[in-house]
Amino acid sequence: MSVRVRFAPSPTGFVHIGSLRTALYNYLFAKRNGGTYVLRVEDTDRTRLVDGAIENMLQAMRWAGVESDEGVVLDKDGNVTQKGEFGPYIQSERLDIYKEHIQTLLDEGKAYHCFCSKERLDQVREEQKAKGLTPKYDGHCRHLSKEEVQKKIDAGESYVIRLKLPENYVIKFHDLVRGDMEFNTDDQDDQVLIKADGFPTYHFAVVVDDHLMKITHIIRGEEWVSSTPKHVYLYEAFGWDKPEFVHLPNILNTEKKKLSKRHGDVAVEDFKRKGYIPEALVNYVALVGWSPEDNQEIFSMKELDEKFSIERVSKSGGVFDVEKLKWVNQHYMKDADDEYLAKAAIPYLVDAGLVDTIGVNEGSDGEAEVKDEDFEYIKKMIHVIKNKIQVIDEINDLAPIFFGEELKLESEDAREFLNMEHIPLLAQALKDKIEQAEQFNSENNQKILKSIQKEHGIKGKNLFMGTRVLLTGMMHGPEIPDTMEVLGKELCVKRIESAISQRG
Ligand code: GLU
* pLDDT confidence tier of residue 13, bands split at 50, 70 and 90: confident
Q: 224 CB under 6 A from ligand 1? A: yes
Q: Which domain holds residue 397?
A: 337-401
431 is catalytic: no
* pLDDT confidence tier of residue 49, bands split at 50, 70 and 90: confident
Q: Are 47 and 179 within one domain?
A: no
Nearest to 382 by CA among 460, 279, 478, 451: 478
Q: Are 201 and 297 within one domain?
A: no
User: Which is the closest atom of ligand 1 to the Cα of 7?
Assistant: 8
Q: Are 87 and 212 within one domain?
A: no
Kindly tell me the burial class for residue 1, based on how many C-beta atoms sit within 10 Å of its own C-beta (0-12, 13-18, 19 or more). exposed
Q: Are 185 and 123 within one domain?
A: yes
User: Which is the closest atom of ligand 1 to the Cα of 9?
Assistant: 4
Tell whether 406 is covered by a domain. no
Element (H, E) at 480: helix 480-501
Residue 364 pLDDT greater than 90, yes or no? no
Q: Are 280 and 205 within one domain?
A: no
Q: Are 211 and 66 within one domain?
A: no
Domain count of the fold of the chain: 4
User: Which is the closest atom of ligand 1 to the Cα of 8?
Assistant: 5
Phi, psi at residue 153, to the nearest 5°?
-65, -45
Q: 206 CB under 6 A from ligand 1? A: yes
Ligand 1 center to 224 CA (angstroms): 8
Q: 90 CB under 6 A from ligand 1? A: no
- What number of other Cβ atoms are within 10 A of residue 454's Cβ? 10
Q: Are 99 and 242 within one domain?
A: yes
State the pLDDT at residue 366: 58
pLDDT for 293-350, tens place per residue?
Answer: 988 999 999 999 999 999 999 998 889 999 999 999 999 999 999 999 999 999 999 9
pLDDT for 81-123, tens place per residue?
Answer: 999 999 999 999 999 999 999 999 999 999 999 999 999 999 9
Contact 265, 133 (CB under 8 A): no
The amino acid at residue 125 is R
pLDDT for 234-289, tens place per residue?
Answer: 999 999 999 999 999 999 988 888 887 777 789 999 999 999 999 999 999 999 99
* pLDDT confidence tier of residue 51, bands split at 50, 70 and 90: confident
Catalytic residue among 261, 371, 447, 461: 261
- Which residues have CB under 8 Å from 22's CB, separation 6+? 7, 219, 220, 221, 248
Q: Are 108 and 134 within one domain?
A: yes
Pocket test for ligand 1, best of 26, 94, 201, 224 (most atoms within 8 A of CB): 224
